[in-house]
Structure 1
Amino acid sequence: PGDRVAVYAHRSAPLALALLGTLKAGAAFTILDPSYPALRLTAVLAAVAPRAFLRLEAAGALPAEVEDWLRGAGCPELVLPRSGASALPGPEGLPGEAPGVSIGPDAPAYVAFTSGSTGVPKGVVGSHRPLSHFITWHAGRFALTETDRFSLLAGLAHDPLLRDMFTPLCLGALLTVPAPEDLALPDRFARWMHQEGVTVAHLTPALGELLSEGRGVLLDALRLVFFGGDVLTRRAVERLRGLAPGCACASYYGATETPQGMGVHEVEPADRERIPLGRGIDGVQLLVLNAEEGLAGVGELGEICIRSPYLSSGYLGDEELTRERFAANPFTGAPGDRLYRTGDLGRYLPDGEVELKGRRDTQVKIRGFRVELGEIEAVLAALPGVREVAVVARDGRADRPEEGGGDLTLVAFVTASGERAPAAGDLRTHLEKRLPSYMVPAGFKVLAQLPRTSNGKIDRAALAALGSPVEEREGGMMPGTSLEKVLAGMIGEVLGIDRVGLHDNFFDLGGHSMRAVELIARLRDTFGIDVPLFHVFDVPTVAGLASVLLESPEWGQTVEELASALLQVMEPASEPMVGAAPTEAG
Structure 2
Amino acid sequence: MVTMTLTQAKDFSLERGRAAPASLSEAGDQQSSAAWNDTSVAYPAAGLALHQLFERQAARTPAQMALVFEQQRLSYSELNRRANRLAHHLQQLGAGADTPIGLFVERSLEMVVGMLGILKAGAAYLPIDASFPPERIVFMLEDAGVRLLLTQTSLVSSLPAKAAPIVCLDSFGWGDAEIAPLCASAVEPGNLAYVIYTSGSTGRPKGVAIEHHNIVNYVLGVAERLQFRPGMHHATVSTIAADLGNTVIFPALATGGCLHVIARERTESQALLAEYFQREQIDVLKIVPSHLAALQSGQHPEQVMPKSHLILGGEASRLEWIEQLRRLAPQCKIYNHYGPTETTVGVLTYHVAAPLPATQSGTLPLGRPLPNSRIYLLDEQGRPVPVGVPGELCIGGRGVARGYLRRPELTAEKFVADPFSPDPEQRLYRSGDLARYLPDGNIEFCGRIDQQVKIHGNRVELGEIEAALRAQGGVREALVMAREDEPDVKQLVAYVVPKRMDQPLWEGNALHVLPDGSPVAHLNRNETDYIYNEIFVLQAYLRHGITIEDGDCIVDAGANIGLFTVFASRLARNLKVISFEPNPAAFACLKANAMVWGSSVKCLPLGLSSENKSAELTFFEGMSLLSGFYADAATEQDVVKNYVLNQSDESLNNETWTQEISELIDDKLKTKTVSTQLRTLSSIIADEGIDRIDLLKVNVEKSELDVLMGISPDDWPKIRQLVIEVDLDSNLGPILSLLELYGFEMLVEQDPLLSRTELCYVYAIRPSAEHRLLQQQSAEEHRRTLPAADAEILTPVTLRNHLKKRLPAYMMPAAFVLLEKLPLTANGKIDRQALPPWSGASRATPANDSVMPRTETERAIAAIWAEMLKLDSVGVDDDFFDLGGQSLMAMKLVSRIRDAFGVNLPLRNLFDHSTVAGLAEVVDGLVWLAQAPSHGTCDREEIDL
* Same fold at TM > 0.5: yes
Determine the structure 1 residue equivalent to 2:10. Answer: none
Other-structure match for 1:32: 128
Aligned to 2:114: 18
Is the CA contact (8 Å cut-off) linking 2:126 and 2:196 kept in structure 1?
yes
Whole-angstrom distance in 1 between the partners of 2:116 and 2:430: 31
Match of 1:276 in 2: 365
AA of the residue aligned to 2:809: S
The match for 1:5 among 71, 89, 101 is 101
1:142, distance to aligned residue in structure 2 (A): 2.4
Secondary structure, in 3 states, of the residue corresponding to 2:157?
coil
Inter-partner Cα distance in structure 2 for 1:492 and 1:416: 30
State the match for 2:194 in structure 1.
Answer: 110
Given that 2:493 and 2:838 are in contact with CA atoms closer than 8 Å, whether structure 1 keeps it comes out as: no
Counterpart contact for 1:306–1:339, Cα < 8 Å: yes
Shifted more, 272-281 versus 501-510: the winner is: 501-510
Q: In percent, how many aligned pairs have the same letter? A: 35
The answer as to 2:795 corresponding to 1:423 is: yes
CA contact (8 A) 2:414 2:430 kept: yes
How many angstroms does 1:253 deviate by?
Answer: 0.6
> Is 1:461–2:833 an aligned residue pair?
yes
Deviation by residue 1:218-241 (Cα, 9 ceiling, x = unmatched): 578610111111111233333334
Give the C-alpha shift of residue 388 in structure 1: 0.7
User: Are the counterparts in 2 of residues 467 and 498 from structure 1 also a CA contact under 8 Å?
Assistant: no
Partners in 1 of 2:267 and 2:457 — Cα distance? 16
User: What is the aligned partner in structure 1 of residue 340 from structure 2?
Assistant: 255
Aligned pairs for 1:216-231 within 5 A: 218=303, 222-231=307-316
CA 1:48–1:187: 2 relative to 1, 3 Å: same
Equivalent residue, structure 2, for 1:79: 168
Q: 2 CA distance for matches of 1:444 and 1:470?
A: 10
C-alpha separation in 2, matches of 1:357 and 1:369 = 18
Secondary structure at 1:322 match in 2: helix
2:243 to 130, 154, 159: 159
Question: Offset of 1:532 from its aligned partner?
Answer: 5.2
* Residue in structure 2 matched with residue 68 of structure 1 by the alignment: 161
Which residue does the alignment assign to 2:146?
A: 50
2:109 and 2:288 map into 1 onto residues whose CA distance is 22
Aligned partner (choices 193, 215, 222) of residue 131 of structure 1 = 215
Mapped to 1, the partners of 2:845 and 2:188 lie a distance apart of: 57
Tell me the amino acid that sits aligned with residue 354 of structure 1: I
Partner of 1:573: none
1:568 corresponds to: none
Superposition map of 1:125-274 within 5 A = 125-213=209-297, 215=299, 218=303, 222-272=307-357, 273-274=362-363
Query: Root-mean-square deviation (CA), in Å?
Result: 3.3
Deviations 1:101-126 (A, max 9, x none): 21211111111001111212111101
- Cα distance, 1:157 vs. partner? 0.8
Residue 522 of structure 1, CA deviation: 9.1
Q: Does 1:318 align with 2:690?
A: no
- CA offset at residue 193 of structure 1? 1.1
Secondary structure of the structure 2 residue equivalent to 1:31? strand
1:355 and 2:729 are equivalent in the alignment: no
Q: Deviations 1:290-348 (Å, cap 9, x if unpaired)?
A: 12211111221221111213211101111111111111123457532211111111222
Cα-to-partner distance string for 1:163-199 (whole Å, 9 max, x where unaligned): 3222222223211122222122212211111111111
Q: Which residue pairs with 1:503 in the alignment?
A: 877
AA aligned to 1:42 is: V
Partner Cα separation in structure 1 for residue 363 and residue 882 of structure 2? 29
The structure 2 residue matched to 1:393, chosen from 470, 482, 485, is: 482
Match for residue 822 of structure 2?
450
SS at match of 1:23: helix
Amino acid aligned to 1:289? L
Secondary structure of 2:381's aligned partner: coil
Tell me, what secondary structure is at the counterpart of 2:344? strand
When structure 1 is superposed on structure 2, of 213-222 and 177-186 the one drifting more is: 213-222
Number of equivalenced pairs = 530
1:472-527 deviation per Cα after TM superposition (whole angstroms, max 9, x unaligned): 97956275899999987874664478986542222444434543466689999xxx
Partner Cα distance (2:135, 2:151) in 1:
17
User: How far is 1:446 from its partner?
Assistant: 2.0
**Of residues 810, 813, 816 in structure 2, which corresponds to 1:441?**
813
Contact 1:298 1:347 (8 Å CA) reproduced: yes
Q: Compared with structure 1, are the counterparts of its residues 545 and 5 closer, same or farther at alpha carbon in structure 2 (3 Å cutoff)?
A: closer
Partners of 2:333 and 2:903 in 1: how far apart? 29
Give how far 1:41 is off: 0.4
Q: 2: CA distance between counterparts of 1:250 and 1:271?
A: 12
SS in 2 for 1:60: helix
Give the CA deviation at 1:548: 10
CA shift at 1:144, angstroms?
1.3
Q: Deviations over 1:419-470 (max 9, x none)?
A: 5552322211110111111111122122111111222222222225356674
TM-score, normalization: structure 2? 0.52
Letter in 2 for 1:263: L
* Distance (whole Å) between structure 1 residues aligned to residue 194 and residue 923 of structure 2: 49
CA distance in 2, matches of 1:151, 1:123: 26
- C-alpha deviation, 1:54, in angstroms: 1.2
Is 35-44 or 460-469 further displaced after alignment?
460-469
3-state SS in 1 of match to 2:162: helix
Q: Which 5+ residue runs of structure 1 have no aligned equivalent?
A: 399-404, 554-586
C-alpha separation in 2, matches of 1:9 and 1:395 = 34
Cα contact 2:294–2:892 (8 A) shared by 1: no
The one-letter code sitting in structure 1 at the alignment partner of 2:264 is P
1-structure distance, mates of 2:318, 2:257: 30
CA offset digits 1:343-399 (Å, max 9, x no partner): 11122212221111111111111111111110010011111121111111111533x
When residues 543 and 98 of structure 1 are mapped into structure 2, their CA distance, relative to the original with a 3 A threshold, is closer
Tell me the alpha carbon deviations over residues 27-70 of structure 1, each in whole angstroms, 9 at most, x when there is no partner: 1110111111111100111111112111122x53332xx33222
Counterpart Cα distance in 2 of 1:145 and 1:230: 27
The 1:505/1:335 distance shift into structure 2, 3 A limit, reads: farther
Q: 1:338 maps to what in 2?
A: 427
1:249-290 deviation digits (Å, cap 9, x = unpaired): 101111111111101111123214410111111111222111
For residues 282 and 249 of structure 1, what CA distance do their matches in structure 2 show?
19
Secondary structure in structure 1 of the residue aligned to 2:185: coil
Change (3 A) 1:379 1:218: closer
Aligned to 2:490: 408
Larger Cα Rg: Structure 1 or Structure 2? 2
Q: 2:269, 2:894 within 8 Å by CA — same for their partners in 1?
A: no
In structure 2, distance between residues paired with 1:297 and 1:493: 46
| More displaced 10-residue stretch of structure 1: 250-259 or 234-243 | 234-243
- Relative distance call for 1:117 and 1:16 in structure 2 (3 A) is same
Contact 2:374 2:396 in 1 (8 A): yes
Question: Following the alignment from structure 1 to structure 2, what is the Cα–Cα distance between the partners of residues 228 and 220?
Answer: 15
Larger mean CA deviation between 177-186 and 531-540 belongs to 531-540
TM-score if structure 1 supplies the norm length? Answer: 0.82
Task: Say whether the 8 Å CA contact 1:276–1:353 is kept in structure 2.
Answer: yes
Q: For the residues of structure 2 that align with 1:467 and 1:226, how far apart are their CA atoms?
A: 32
Q: 1:94 to 1:325 in 2, by over 3 A?
A: same
Which stretch shows the higher mean deviation, 449-458 or 23-32?
Answer: 449-458
